Chains A and B, each alone.
Chain A
Amino acid sequence: MPTMKFYVGIWAGLVAATVMEVVTRSIPGAFAVVSVIILLISSGKAVTIAMYFQHLRYENKSLAILPIAAVIAVVILAVAAWMSM
């Protein structure tokens, strides 16, 4: 089990990423491009929380299949909704 120091480091990284998201908003650029970058950062934050705070990094690989399957189902819905617009 990692130490508290390690977790505080993760936390600091997450806070920094949050600030980076906000700063990215102010960057001049195409709305779509900037938005995608922001969402990539936030996805990274989410995955980090899942891997370290929820401990998925250290668990058996087969556990991660569960949330990943749910995410895939959401993606299917999203893709189809996109197609129908």
Chain B
Amino acid sequence: MSEQYEETEESKSTYAPFIIGAGLALLLFGLIVFIPLAIAGGAIVAAGLFLLFRDTVEEKFADLKETVGESWPAGFLSKRKLGVWVFIMSEILIFGSLIVGYIFVRFSSSSWPVATQVHNVTLGMTNTIILLTSSLAMVFALVSVRAGNMRGLKIGLIGTFALGVAFLTVKLGFEWPAYYRNGFTISSGLPGSTYFVLTGLHAAHVAGGLVAVGYLIARTYQGGFTKDNHAAVENIGLYWHFVDIVWMFLFPLFYLI
């Protein structure tokens, strides 16, 4: 009998999936029925995620080493990287569908305000450059860790995080309050609805990315990454760059056109 792959002793049971599932349902249920339940649900989800991270840090779920069986045509890809790319496909589809919806709604409307008059192009452009720089920082982090430069890894990750925070600050702290003061709100009509829903969903993805980058920073300081073992840096980087790509389309579609 041939050994298909090695495997270390692993304990395969964890409460995290159950906790996350229950927490998500409670969160959504609470939004409808009783807001404190939603807050409790959110806390439960956070606890579940924390449990996941801790398991990963403690290497409790020692990775099944990659199988040496058949893997054409993805022999060059690790399963996690393949998983991230498949996940990115679903994200392309959700943002793509929403963008198509926006274009459909806009072309079906008899009138639409001029983009540059309603939106703050300067802040939008600033945010675009901020996000591009954060992608550069993420690349720097990856290049550094590949060269064994841990200091560079930290600088890159912290830079990504800080720039992501800056992006959200500009948007939520300066841009949106000004829009609301001017009467351009999420419920002020289709132009407002489409803008806030799409850029809001994008901002939520940036926030989620910040959680992931925060995890990377925590792990770095615990010494979890080495020159040869840093897959998470690359994989979360792929997600971060994708979020950047989405903004490359949202910026012109809303601010310039």
A19, B251: Cα distance in complex, Å: 12
In the complex, the number of residue pairs spanning A and B with C-beta atoms less than 8 Å apart equals 116
Q: CB of B232 within 8 A of chain A?
A: no
**Per-residue 0/1 for B116-152: is the Cβ within 8 Å of any A Cβ (1 yes, 0 no)?**
1000010001001100110110111001001000000
- Which residues of B lie under 8 Å from residue A73 when comparing CB positions? 93, 96
Minimum distance in angstroms from B13 CB to a CB of chain A: 32
Give a binary string over B65-89; 1 marks a CB under 8 Å from any A CB, 0 the rest: 0000000011011000000011011
> Contacts A18-B129, A22-B125, A49-B241 known; A70 to B257 CB distance under 8 Å?
no
Residues of B within 8 A of A (CB): 73-74, 76-77, 85-86, 88-90, 92-93, 96-97, 99-100, 103-104, 107-108, 116, 121, 125, 128-129, 132-133, 135-136, 138-140, 143, 146, 237-238, 241-242, 244-245, 248-249, 251-253, 256-257
**Interface readout for A10-36 with B: 1 if CB under 8 Å, 0 if not?**
010011001101101100000000010
B94 → chain A closest CB, angstroms: 10
| 26 A-B pairs whose Cβ atoms sit less than 8 Å apart in the complex | A3-B143, A4-B139, A18-B132, A22-B121, A22-B256, A25-B116, A25-B256, A35-B257, A38-B256, A38-B257, A39-B252, A42-B252, A46-B248, A46-B249, A49-B241, A50-B241, A53-B135, A53-B139, A54-B242, A59-B76, A69-B89, A74-B92, A74-B93, A74-B96, A77-B97, A85-B104
- B-binding residues in A (CB < 8 A): 1, 3-4, 7-8, 11, 14-15, 18-19, 21-22, 24-25, 35, 38-39, 41-43, 45-46, 49-50, 53-54, 59-60, 62-63, 66-67, 69-71, 73-74, 77-78, 81, 85
Q: A62 — which chain B residues lie within 8 A by C-beta? A: 73-74
Determine the distance from Cα of A37 to Cα of B103 in the docked complex, in whole angstroms.
Answer: 17
In the bound complex, do residue A63 and residue B245 qualify as a contact, i.e. CB atoms below 8 Å apart?
no
A11 to B132, CA, bound (A): 7
Task: Give the one of B97, B100, B242 with max A CB within 10 A.
Answer: B100
From B107, B136, B241, B249, give the contact of A42 (CB < 8 A).
B249
Indicate if the CB atoms of B107 and A85 lie closer than 8 Å. yes
Which residue of chain A lies nearest to B129 when distances are taken between CB atoms in the complex?
A15
CA distance A24 to B251 in the complex (A): 14
CA distance A42 to B244 in the complex (A): 12
Residues of B within 8 A of A21 (CB): 251-252, 256
Rounded to whole angstroms, the CA-CA distance of A35 and B244 in the bound complex is 21
Check A19/B125 contact, CB under 8 A, given A8-B136, A66-B86, A77-B96. Answer: yes
Docked complex Cα distance between A49 and B96 (Å): 17
Judging by beta carbons under 8 Å apart, are A85 and B140 in contact?
A: no
Measured in the bound complex, the distance between the Cα atoms of B105 and A21 in whole Å is 24
Q: Which residues of A contact B108 (CB under 8 A)?
A: 85
Q: Which of A25, A53, A69, A78 has the most CB of B within 10 A?
A: A53
Specify which of A7, A19, A60, A70 is in contact with B93 (CB 8 Å cutoff): A70
